[in-house]
Structure 1
Amino acid sequence: MALRLTPPFPSFTGRNLVIGKSQPLVKLKISCSYHSNEVLNAAMLYWPVPNVLYVVGYALDRFAEGLWALQPVHQNRVGLVLDAAIEGELRLRHLQVADATRASLGLPVLEYIVTDTPLLVEKWVDPKSGQSTGRIKHPDSLPRAVQTLVNRTKCIVMAIEYAVCISFLLILFNPQGIDDLAGVEAVISHLVVKEFQIPCAHAPALSPFPLSLSLCPKSAAKEVSNIF
């Protein structure tokens, strides 16, 4: 029996550690649990559970439709794509974080590439539906970078770091706020997963956040470790 479990609240990296750990252990006869990446972004790094699979939303949809099959793997070979719009010092910081994941978590981050042109990621909230959405003004640059890494390293997972304005922070740290990056991140992952049929993680490339005296505890992990 396969069961897809969805988060009970808006998802940010630091919020889902307990959810991702506890849900597969509830007293249900579940042989394998398919989780959205929104649940497992943080949890699976620290508490790997053998019968829990990290699956991006677009792939989950195709799987539910019976169009795609999912193949479990012991470990993923990861390629890192950096948006050309990420400025030099911040790019170096994110490469250092990639080194840290290799050293502390043993993640096989094989190689990185910088897109040949800035992606120019835009985001907004639809005033009618209240849902976040967005677009990439230079969408062709992303699959070109992914294709290069796939050809060069045979990696089977992509991690995308993109530049974005930090104006969303007040919303991100408000427990009632909308994650206004979720929509454009769906655009990014769908673009990669649809064309290459490989998992795709994504995160905004952010400098350290300004100190906040009214930080929501549920978002604290995101604030204090925004890059890692």
Structure 2
Amino acid sequence: MLYWPMPNTLYVEGYALDQFAEGAWALQPVHQNKVGLVLDSGIEEELQLRHLQVADAARASLGLPVVEYTVTDAPLEIKTWFDPKCGKSTGSVGNSDSLLRAVDALVNHAGVNAVAVVARFPDDDPEDSDCYREGKGVDLLAGVEAIISHLIVKEFKIPAAHAPAVLSPPLSPSVSPRSAAEEIGYTFLPCVLAGLSSAPQYVTRRQGTSDSGCIVANDVDSVILPRDACGGDGALAFSRTARKNKPLIITVQENETVLDDTPDKFSIDAYLKNP
């Protein structure tokens, strides 16, 4: 709810960030995007109405350009679980074709150039969510959220982000301040719409084309990431770039994850930031 855009940041989806790091895509800053909203037909009527009210509020109170919404022609059938090998969250989208058809309709008939998706997620088992809410565990929803946005960005090459539709969890006095922003409303959609409204567009770089006005990987001077999360495509691309002035890779020791992808395992020359 309160994860709001900041003037010195760019709202970039994960797959797009990897493409950017590899030099395949550039980021084109914009004044404002035309945002479309996809709602999972598996969302209950009352919960769907809550999300439509968010879109109305975003338009009326913030002036955000949420121009159209659509409902998928089949429930998306989201499933979530923790990867037994490393403990990260993952899952599946049972009807991904339905999702892509809905996005296609918004892009080609409503002219949107950024898409927010709200899918009905299984309601958490308290044992799975309590650690995360207390600031100590893995977000069970995040893995499938990444799958959803990756599907859209890979296919349509436009900004996309996801907000899960879930029932409100029981009130807890032990919620971490880092998680508290997710506890104060019926939906997670407001910050997604705000972020997408000014997210940079993705420009495919081709030989001989101009990058005028765009941000490219060569503009990056430093990369900051957790010490044990250096195995992603983006981190590897930045660390292995052939340019003379490679970006400084800074890893943060105290920001621990369930991964074990430390710089030494990938021959990454990184600066370690201790607490």
Provide the C-alpha distance between the structure 1 equivalents of 2:161 and 2:143, rounded to a whole number of angstroms.
14
Provide the C-alpha distance between the structure 2 equivalents of 1:199 and 1:188, rounded to a whole number of angstroms.
12
Provide the C-alpha distance between the structure 2 equivalents of 1:80 and 1:164, rounded to a whole number of angstroms.
17
Greater helix content: 1
Structure 1 residue 196 displacement after superposition: 0.1
RMSD after superposition: 1.5
Q: Which residue of 1 aligns with 2:150?
A: 190
Provide the C-alpha distance between the structure 2 equivalents of 1:96 and 1:141, rounded to a whole number of angstroms.
23
Q: Which of residues 30, 41, 48 in structure 2 aligns to 1:84?
A: 41
Q: Which residue of 2 aligns with 1:165?
A: 122
Q: Which residue of 2 aligns with 1:142?
A: 99
Structure 1 residue 55 displacement after superposition: 0.9
Percent pairwise identity: 57
Provide the C-alpha distance between the structure 1 equivalents of 2:156 and 2:24, rounded to a whole number of angstroms.
15
Aligned to 1:217, the other structure's residue is in SS state coil
Q: Which residue of 2 aligns with 1:225?
A: 185
Q: Which of residues 78, 93, 116 in structure 1 aligns to 2:50?
A: 93
Provide the C-alpha distance between the structure 2 equivalents of 1:188 and 1:113, rounded to a whole number of angstroms.
16
Structure 1 residue 207 displacement after superposition: 3.0
Q: Deviations over 1:2-30 (max 9, x none)?
A: xxxxxxxxxxx64xxxxxxxxxxxxxxxx
Q: Which residue of 1 aligns with 2:172?
A: 212
* Larger-gyration structure (1/2): 2
The residue type equivalent to 1:195 in the other structure is E
TM-score by length of 2: 0.64
Provide the C-alpha distance between the structure 1 equivalents of 2:169 and 2:61, rounded to a whole number of angstroms.
23
Runs of 4+ in 1 over 4 A off after TM superposition: none
Aligned to 1:158, the other structure's residue is in SS state strand
The answer to whether the Cα contact below 8 Å between 2:41 and 2:75 also exists between their aligned partners in 1 is yes
The answer to whether the Cα contact below 8 Å between 2:78 and 2:122 also exists between their aligned partners in 1 is no
The answer to whether the Cα contact below 8 Å between 2:133 and 2:179 also exists between their aligned partners in 1 is yes
Q: Deviations over 1:51-102 (max 9, x none)?
A: 5321111001001111112211100110000001001111011100111111
Q: Deviations over 1:133-175 (max 9, x none)?
A: 1110111001100000011111110000000122153243121
The residue type equivalent to 1:85 in the other structure is G
Aligned to 2:10, the other structure's residue is in SS state strand
The answer to whether the Cα contact below 8 Å between 2:50 and 2:186 also exists between their aligned partners in 1 is no
Instruction: Give ranges in structure 1 of 5+ residues lacking alignment.
Output: 1-12, 15-41
Q: Which residue of 1 aligns with 2:4?
A: 43
The answer to whether the Cα contact below 8 Å between 2:13 and 2:159 also exists between their aligned partners in 1 is yes
2:109 aligned with 1:109: no
Instruction: Give ranges in structure 2 of 5+ residues lacking alignment.
Output: 191-275
Structure 1 residue 181 displacement after superposition: 1.1
Higher RCO (Cα < 8 Å, 6 or more apart)? 2
The residue type equivalent to 2:157 in the other structure is Q
The residue type equivalent to 2:133 in the other structure is F
The residue type equivalent to 1:161 in the other structure is V
Aligned to 2:16, the other structure's residue is in SS state helix
Provide the C-alpha distance between the structure 1 equivalents of 2:133 and 2:9, rounded to a whole number of angstroms.
28
Aligned to 1:214, the other structure's residue is in SS state coil
Q: Cα gap change, 1:217/1:70 in structure 2, threshold over 3 Å: closer, same or farther?
A: closer
Aligned to 1:135, the other structure's residue is in SS state strand
Structure 1 residue 206 displacement after superposition: 2.2
Structure 1 residue 201 displacement after superposition: 1.1
2:26 aligned with 1:65: no
